[in-house]
Amino acid sequence: MPDTPKKIDPIRPTDDEARALAQGLITEARHGALATLIDGAPFVTRVALAPASDGSVTTLISDLSTHTAALRAHPIASLLIGEPGRGDPLAHPRITLQVRAEFLEKTEVGKANYLAAQPKAQLYIDFADFRLVRLAPSGALLNGGFGKAYRLTPDDLTA
Amino acid sequence: MPDTPKKIDPIRPTDDEARALAQGLITEARHGALATLIDGAPFVTRVALAPASDGSVTTLISDLSTHTAALRAHPIASLLIGEPGRGDPLAHPRITLQVRAEFLEKTEVGKANYLAAQPKAQLYIDFADFRLVRLAPSGALLNGGFGKAYRLTPDDLTA
């Protein structure tokens, strides 16, 4: 039997390679898994994403959706970003962001920024029930693959 | 501007097509986004999955991981399954399971079932810190694409 990883501290010291990996995952993300709180229990749904330059991301969600009501009642949420490729799904990098949701005004600039990343959302971005929401990270857990975990600060996520 | 979907009840009546879609998503899933509760806040991480015949799934997680400690303290969790393809990420089917985590004995049968879906896990399934955990659904929200949402019961998820 191989050595158990119990002997290893699972969190590595943050370095520039980890920061670059995290920033790349966030910048390239066009969707993620958003965990919200409903009646005290976690609830995870897919959201579409557009990146901002400050390490945050923006999503466009409907008042008809469970997660929108959840974020209004409890704006502290979490977002998983990073898609697995072939083989073991745990061998591929991903990042968990701890976020606070901020409901935004649907300005022309805000809409244009979102549509640059999500052109198909043109079909419904002007629906009255759709909201642009910024997900601002307060911290992150980066997992670059087995034995490559890092705890990151908001500063680590800004290029 | 097109009609807003506000006029439509977002939850459709469950039919056999919805049940078959949900069962297919769960059976084919080899990874998902697991939302747990940490210090009262949601936290979402990737987990590898193996399907069971009763609508539940099994995962293999390490005591070194944040989600394992979270599930021990608060076994009510949520799991998002279903990968988006090209185009609008919200146009692709996915399912949110509301689950209870049950830590299992690592029997030979249990290991063999898990490895049938996750052969690469042979490398670490015998590590002392790795646990097989059953995620048993108490309910589900199926989203088959825009305007195609269903609330499903555990019975709807068993073939």
Nearest CB to B6; choose among A45, A78, A128: A128
Mean pLDDT of A58-85: 96
The residue type of A126 is D
How far apart are the CA of B16 and the nearest CA of chain A, in angstroms? Answer: 23
Mean pLDDT of A60-75: 96
Under an 8 A CB cutoff, do A48 and B96 touch?
A: no
Band of pLDDT at residue A30, cut at 50, 70 and 90: very high
φ/ψ of A22, rounded to 5, equals: -60, -45
Q: What is the pLDDT of residues A75-118, one digit of tens each?
A: 999 999 999 988 889 999 999 999 999 999 999 999 999 999 99
Under an 8 A CB cutoff, do A89 and B10 touch?
A: no
Q: Which residue of B has its CA nearest to A43?
A: B78
What DSSP string runs through A12-60? PPP-HHHHHHHHHHHHH-SEEEEEEEETTEEEEEEEE-EE-TTS-EEEE
Under an 8 A CB cutoff, do A34 and B44 touch?
A: yes
pLDDT at residue B1, rounded to an integer: 46
E strand spans, B14-148: 31-38, 41-48, 50-51, 57-62, 76-81, 94-103, 130-143
Under an 8 A CB cutoff, do A46 and B90 touch?
A: yes
Taking CB atoms and an 8 Å cutoff, what residues of chain A touch B42? 35-37, 42-44, 76-78
Give Cβ neighbours of residue A60 (< 8 Å, ≥ 6 apart): A48, A114, A118, A121, A125, A130, A131, A132, A133
The residue type of A86 is R
How far apart are the CA of B104 and the nearest CA of chain A, in angstroms? Answer: 19
pLDDT at residue B10, rounded to an integer: 83
How far apart are the CA of B114 and the nearest CA of chain A, in angstroms? Answer: 13
Q: What is the pLDDT of residues A3-18, one digit of tens each?
A: 444 455 689 999 999 9
Nearest CB to A35; choose among B65, B78, B128: B78
- Which of B25, B90, B142 to mutate: most A Cβ within 10 Å? B90
Domains and CATH numbers, chain A: 12-82+91-154 (2.30.110.10)
Give percent of chain A above pLDDT 90: 84
Mean pLDDT of A131-139: 98
Under an 8 A CB cutoff, do A2 and B118 touch?
A: no
pLDDT at residue B157, rounded to an integer: 95
Along the 159 residues of chain B, how does pLDDT read in single tens digits? 444 444 556 899 999 999 999 999 999 999 999 999 999 999 999 999 999 988 899 999 999 999 999 999 999 999 999 999 888 899 999 999 999 999 999 999 999 999 999 999 999 999 999 999 999 999 999 999 877 999 999 999 997
A and B: number of Cβ contacts within 8 A: 152
Give Cβ neighbours of residue B39 (< 8 Å, ≥ 6 apart): none
